Structure 1
Amino acid sequence: MSDKTVGFIGLGIMGLPMATNLLDAGYRVVGHNRSPEPTAELVAHGGEDGESPAGVAERSDVVLLCLPDSPDVERVVLGDGGEPNPVVDGVGPGTTVIDHSTISPTVAERVAEALAAEDATLLDAPISGGEEGAIEGTLSIMVGGDEDALDAQRDVLDVVGGTVTHCGPSGAGQTTKACNQIVVAAQMVGVSEALVFADNAGADLEAVVEAISGGAAGCWALDNRAPDMIHGDFDPGFFAEYQYKDLRIATDAGEAFGSPMPQTSLAHELYKSMVENGMGRDDNSGVMQVLELMNGGPARAEE
């Protein structure tokens, strides 16, 4: 049993299993979620209800966030947008806030500055690995911020992550996550395009997936998503609308830094089509459905 109290704000598809893993590892966990049902689940698992973001921060040594987007982080941490009890009102000297959300690097830097004014520390620590990684505690965690602060909280992060990498100063974790999402989107779109092509050519989709997974094309998307994709199973492990949001962050950053992003811009438009066609709550591998719409019919393995 650890004597460290961990706060957790944002108990969604990723946050709740991360928080319960911390409880199982012996940490006291105080949680909060905008909708009450996930908090009730955490309490049923042995956690405590912090009642508000500030309430969580007041009772915690370290506060973890797992929120959808930059405005959500600004609202919950700084009170922007009318949050009555933000994290900044509850932190004390020495509090560490670890933000697992995927947000703009510039927003991460601004939040870090605001917390530093209260003698608290922000680590921007976005995650990759989907719902499976959150459940199994094998997430890849990309951390920006003070390395000594990271070292002090490695025990917590080692519970929820399989790989914890310090990437540089504040904002560097978010930059690294943008790189991650660029590659993930490229995989998802490439696998989708290959499967639709293979189906049009009359190939056995299960055989295609097995064959190319063992060669130079082998990748996470082929191993973990293609077997479901060819059967039309797009139950979410990572929402397509979040992938779209992450690609918007990446393309905006690319514009700011003058970096060419031809492939990412295309993927961004395909995920936008998913959201506009009511598929935003499907898994991000569901981008295959947009290519199927363009194709005029689905690509499916024979049952």
Structure 2
Amino acid sequence: MSAQTIGFIGLGIMGLPMARNLIDAGHDVVGHNRSSDPTAELVAYGGEDGGSPAGVAERSDVVLLCLPDSPDVENIVLGEGNEANPVIDGVSEGMTVIDHSTISPTVAEAVADRLAKEGVSMLDAPISGGEQGAIDGTLSIMVGGEESTLEAHREVLEAMGETVTHCGPSGAGQTTKACNQIVVSAQMVGVSEALVFAEKAGADLEAVVDAISGGAAGCWTLDNRAPNMITGDFDPGFFAEYQYKDLRIATAAGEEFGAPIPQTSVAHELYKTMVENDMGRDDNSGVMQVLELMAGTEARIDD
């Protein structure tokens, strides 16, 4: 792999381990985060502090983003907010911006169009796999944009992800991520319903998880989250408030495109309930707590 200087903006629960994997792959990484502690952690690991979004862009061959929501991307990249030194002020013609955030497909297209006027290409490349996938470098990366741009940067993405898939033109990566979150939320809610039901029926929760994991109900949530759910461990791998944000994007896109998404609409309301009840910083599997409140019980085993 030819080493490049990679800019990384957004060193949160996903971004920081992704940036570390880039350093491990031999790249120089220049980082920036709104709060200073994650940037200090990156510097301690061997990265550099870019000082601002524009500062990161000025010192990088390619800029990666991992930000919470559409307005954050518009602000950090284009300065459409309170960011005084956005990425666009530091880019040069021929550069590429790769956005790993989960945002609206239409916003992804608009930001790409604006950067194109500066001679800068953009890939929308949202990710799936949670914190552990980011740590292990096994993320699934869904890419929208020019395929030639993806191929030029595939080695960079493969330092962070196990599966890198070109999904179509600009915005297609975000559409694919919305599909991903529709399925993820269905798993989380379905497993939660099953466990609360099992508790109410007096079943052995560990036996239920073991039994159904090996059959047609087997899924990522049963394998990776159910053992923690039944002990009440909702330490975040992916914040519930981010799941809620992603479902807002999915339901809005469903309305825009005329796609019926009744199950996703129910999940949207359950995650909204989590956020409104101060559970937004719990793991997204913590949606089980809402169903427990509805049932008047907790589906737990002794840890």
Q: Describe the SS at the equivalent of 2:88.
A: helix
The equivalent residue for 1:136 is: 136
The equivalent residue for 2:167 is: 167
Q: Describe the SS at the equivalent of 1:148.
A: helix
The equivalent residue for 1:32 is: 32
Measured in 1, the distance between the counterparts of 2:297 and 2:2 equals: 55
The equivalent residue for 1:8 is: 8
The equivalent residue for 2:124 is: 124
State the Cα deviation string for residues 122-152 of structure 1 (Å, max 9, x = none).
1000000000000000000000001000000
Native 8 Å contact 1:30 1:60 kept in 2: yes
Q: Describe the SS at the equivalent of 2:159.
A: helix
In the TM superposition, residue 226 of structure 1 has moved relative to its aligned partner by 0.2
In the TM superposition, residue 297 of structure 1 has moved relative to its aligned partner by 1.7
State the Cα deviation string for residues 224-276 of structure 1 (Å, max 9, x = none).
00000000000000000000000000000000001101000000000000000
The equivalent residue for 1:93 is: 93
CA RMSD of aligned residues (A): 0.7
Measured in 2, the distance between the counterparts of 1:17 and 1:3 equals: 18
Q: Which amino acid aligns with 2:198?
A: A
Q: Describe the SS at the equivalent of 1:11.
A: coil
Q: Describe the SS at the equivalent of 2:46.
A: coil
Q: Which amino acid aligns with 2:221?
A: A
Q: Which amino acid aligns with 1:246?
A: D
The equivalent residue for 2:287 is: 287
The equivalent residue for 1:43 is: 43
Q: Describe the SS at the equivalent of 1:249.
A: helix
In the TM superposition, residue 45 of structure 1 has moved relative to its aligned partner by 0.5
State the Cα deviation string for residues 167-211 of structure 1 (Å, max 9, x = none).
000000000000000000000000000000001111100000000
In the TM superposition, residue 82 of structure 1 has moved relative to its aligned partner by 2.1
The equivalent residue for 2:60 is: 60
Native 8 Å contact 1:11 1:66 kept in 2: yes
Q: Describe the SS at the equivalent of 1:232.
A: coil
The equivalent residue for 2:255 is: 255
Measured in 2, the distance between the counterparts of 1:101 and 1:266 equals: 24
Measured in 2, the distance between the counterparts of 1:118 and 1:160 equals: 27
Measured in 2, the distance between the counterparts of 1:16 and 1:82 equals: 23
Q: Which amino acid aligns with 2:101?
A: S
Report whether the alignment pairs 1:199 with 2:196.
no
Correspondences of 1:264-303 after superposition (within 5 Å):
264-303=264-303
Identity %: 80
Q: Describe the SS at the equivalent of 1:167.
A: strand
Measured in 1, the distance between the counterparts of 2:67 and 2:263 equals: 27
Q: Which runs of 5+ in 1 are unaligned?
A: none
Measured in 2, the distance between the counterparts of 1:241 and 1:177 equals: 16
The equivalent residue for 2:69 is: 69
Measured in 2, the distance between the counterparts of 1:183 and 1:234 equals: 20
In the TM superposition, residue 29 of structure 1 has moved relative to its aligned partner by 0.3
Measured in 2, the distance between the counterparts of 1:86 and 1:14 equals: 21
Q: Describe the SS at the equivalent of 2:164.
A: strand
Native 8 Å contact 1:138 1:163 kept in 2: yes
Following TM superposition, the consecutive aligned residue runs of length 4 or more in structure 1 with deviations greater than 4 angstroms are: none
In the TM superposition, residue 302 of structure 1 has moved relative to its aligned partner by 3.7
Measured in 2, the distance between the counterparts of 1:74 and 1:302 equals: 46
In the TM superposition, residue 94 of structure 1 has moved relative to its aligned partner by 1.0
Counting matched residue pairs gives 303
Report whether the alignment pairs 1:178 with 2:163.
no
Native 8 Å contact 1:2 1:28 kept in 2: no
Measured in 1, the distance between the counterparts of 2:24 and 2:176 equals: 29
In the TM superposition, residue 3 of structure 1 has moved relative to its aligned partner by 3.3
The equivalent residue for 2:209 is: 209
TM-score in terms of structure 1 length: 0.99
Measured in 2, the distance between the counterparts of 1:198 and 1:90 equals: 56
In the TM superposition, residue 25 of structure 1 has moved relative to its aligned partner by 1.0
Q: Which amino acid aligns with 2:134?
A: A
Q: Describe the SS at the equivalent of 1:189.
A: helix
